[in-house]
């Protein structure tokens, strides 16, 4: 099976879908000739032409607004926002138009739109290139929100997202773009470096939206994580020797609550790890759901480990991230309160 980086896998997913379906179009800032700031679309314009893969003005509102119109009239746009931090000008189009189109038209129109965006820190990008805004999208009815943690899932999830009849927010962790890591390396990820590669099947396949994956079996505590934090949680469990069961959510909305509940009822404890700020982060929703579904099975309070409640701190980036040491301490406190 070929071994690829997440960037390679994401490009492969778009290539597969553009080859299978003439209605799939890819566009955004610098995604055509240049191949995108992280080179995720490199070569697609040369292969499919400027009408299928093209550059846009620097206007996120315009990119998503045009994509909503295209989707309503039969195309399947897969657009790139250069960084998740740039999504805010387009938020109104996503929330007020894309997410509501099916409902406000009573099903006469749908919006098969994918909005891809690099998310999270790890490239020393500071406040305007490092945010994790997933909770802003999971709050919106009518959207699906996806965060892959490895190349194989990234390809399968992106193909499933492009084929989905409704809008999907596809968040790509920048620290994982060039391959999974061991949870420790404090290194910037650049589009020109190559690290450990993941096995990625050739051709068309999907990873279903709304299905989590158990990355590590355990009996002492359930750890809920997604994206980069899956590897941090694995490193912390290995260091502390805590028998943790680590669930990679993969899709935040729809959420695989069945898998979460089954694990927490087995372990009796739950810890949630995410890179975004703690207050009103997606971990708060996870905590509420676990409390409601597993109250009589919990043997300790639910623990959350997250980024600081501050604007993104460039100089303290690697302290801001929940790292193995901080996650490890929380693991030990959770099983021995």
At 337, the pLDDT band (50, 70, 90 cuts) reads low
Q: Among all residues, which ones are annotated catalytic?
A: 129
At 183, the pLDDT band (50, 70, 90 cuts) reads low
Q: Could you say which of 169, 199, 229 is where a domain stops? A: 199
Distances (CA, A) of 193 to 39, 178, 187: 12, 7, 11
Q: Which two tokens stand for residue 248?
A: 């990679």
What CA–CA distance (Å, rounded) separates 132 from 283? 13
pLDDT value at 276 more than 50: yes
Higher pLDDT, 6 or 189: 6
How much is the pLDDT for 179?
66
Running DSSP on this structure, what letter comes out for residue 96? I
Kindly state whether residues 25 and 117 are assigned to the same domain.
yes
- Tell whether 251 is covered by a domain: yes
pLDDT value at 189 more than 50: no
At 181, the pLDDT band (50, 70, 90 cuts) reads low
How much is the pLDDT for 187?
44
How much is the pLDDT for 184?
54
Which residue range(s) make up the domain with 330? Answer: 213-335
Kindly state whether residues 219 and 165 are assigned to the same domain.
no
Distance from chain centroid for Cα 220: 27
Report the domain count for the chain: 2
Instruction: Render pLDDT for 136-162 as a digit per residue (tens, 0 to 9).
Output: 999 999 999 999 999 999 999 999 999
What CA–CA distance (Å, rounded) separates 213 from 234? 14
Instruction: Render pLDDT for 196-250 as a digit per residue (tens, 0 to 9).
Output: 568 899 999 999 999 999 999 999 999 999 999 999 999 999 999 999 999 999 9
Distances (CA, A) of 330 to 81, 235, 236: 34, 13, 9
How much is the pLDDT for 115?
98
- Tell whether 130 is covered by a domain: yes
Kindly state whether residues 183 and 220 are assigned to the same domain.
no
Kindly state whether residues 73 and 164 are assigned to the same domain.
yes
Q: Indicate which CATH number applies to the domain containing 236.
A: 3.40.50.920
Kindly state whether residues 124 and 228 are assigned to the same domain.
no
- Model pTM score: 0.94
pLDDT value at 188 more than 50: no
At 300, the pLDDT band (50, 70, 90 cuts) reads very high
How much is the pLDDT for 315?
75
């Amino acid at each position: 099976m070929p071994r690829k980086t997440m960037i390679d896998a994401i490009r492969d997913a778009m290539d597969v879908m553009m080859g299978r379906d003439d209605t799939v179009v890819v566009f955004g800032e610098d995604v055509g000739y240049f191949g995108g700031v992280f080179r995720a679309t490199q070569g697609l314009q040369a292969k499919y032409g400027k009408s299928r893969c093209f550059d846009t003005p620097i206007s996120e509102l315009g990119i998503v607004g045009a994509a909503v119109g295209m989707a309503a009239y039969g195309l399947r746009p897969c657009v790139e926002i250069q960084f998740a931090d740039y999504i805010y000008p387009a938020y109104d189009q996503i929330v007020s138009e894309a997410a509501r189109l099916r409902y406000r038209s009573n099903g006469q129109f749908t919006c098969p739109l994918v909005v891809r965006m690099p998310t999270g820190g790890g490239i020393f990008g500071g406040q305007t290139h490092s945010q994790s805004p997933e909770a802003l999208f999971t709050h919106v009815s009518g959207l699906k929100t996806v965060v892959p943690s490895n190349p194989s899932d990234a390809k399968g999830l992106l193909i499933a997202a492009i084929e989905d009849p409704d809008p999907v927010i596809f968040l790509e962790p920048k620290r994982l773009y060039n391959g999974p890591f061991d949870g420790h390396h404090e290194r910037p990820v650049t589009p020109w470096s190559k690290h450990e590669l993941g096995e990625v099947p050739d051709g068309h396949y999907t990873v279903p939206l709304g299905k989590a994956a158990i990355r590590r079996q355990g009996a002492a505590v359930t750890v809920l994580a997604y994206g980069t934090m899956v590897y941090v949680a694995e490193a912390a469990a290995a260091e502390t020797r805590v028998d943790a069961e680590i669930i990679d959510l993969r899709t935040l909305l729809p959420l695989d609550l069945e898998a979460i509940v089954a694990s927490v009822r087995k372990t009796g404890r739950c810890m949630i790890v995410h890179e975004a700020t703690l207050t009103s982060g997606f971990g708060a929703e996870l905590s509420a759901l676990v409390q409601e579904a597993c109250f009589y099975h919990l043997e300790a309070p639910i623990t959350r480990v997250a980024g600081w409640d501050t604007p993104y701190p460039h100089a303290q980036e690697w302290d801001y991230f929940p790292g193995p040491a901080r996650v490890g301490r929380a693991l030990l406190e959770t099983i021995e309160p």
